[in-house]
Amino acid sequence: METIKLVYPVEGGDLIEAGEASSKMKLTLKKLGLPQDVIRRASICMYEGEINMVIHADGGEAQVEVDSDQILIRMIDSGPGIPNVQQAMQEGFSTADSTARELGFGAGMGLPNMKRYSDEMTIDTVVGTGTTVTVKIKIPQ
């Protein structure tokens, strides 16, 4: 399979609408005929990343690359960055505000969930500049 590249803008500030990019990606992955479990894991990773972007970084961009071996998702934002990545990776740690909690998020599960559902995950972050979270989901051959 030739590498397929997809780009989805993620609007900031509107948590009600967050998740639209993930839905579109999921639909595209279904059309590609990928295994259901792979689609599910990739969709959850991107959805969590999208919610994080809207809550913490006023949006950003999701870049997705699909080839025969894996799905690579990069969630790129120009937000405030993560001062302590180790702390942010702890389940239950959250700096989300009450708006996020009212919508059922902000439980400190976003990044841990992305790690749980991916095969590899890296976080590149610079305080005051932004964050890129990259996840890989392998496609069983």
Partner 1 sequence: MLLSEIKEILNATVLWGEEHLDREVVSACGSDFMSDVLAYVKNQPVLLTGLVNPQVIRTADMMEMCCIIFVRGKVPSQDMINLAKDRDIVIMTCPKRMYEACGLLYYNGLRGNCDGND
Considering the complex, what minimum distance in angstroms separates the CB of residue 49 from partner 1? Answer: 12
Nearer to partner 1, 101 or 138 (CB): 101
Structure tokens at 58: 């006023």
Residue 84, burial from CB neighbour count under 10 angstroms (0-12, 13-18, 19+): exposed
- Is 12 one of the binding residues for partner 1 (CB under 8 A)? no
Binds partner 1 (CB under 8 A): choice among 29, 47, 64, 134? 47
- Is 125 one of the binding residues for partner 1 (CB under 8 A)? no
Q: Describe the strand order of the beta sheet including 130-138 as a list of residue ranges.
A: 4-11, 59-66, 70-77, 130-138, 120-126
* Interface contacts to partner 1, rule CB under 8 A: 15-19, 22-23, 26, 36, 40, 43-44, 47-48, 51, 91, 102-110, 112-113, 116
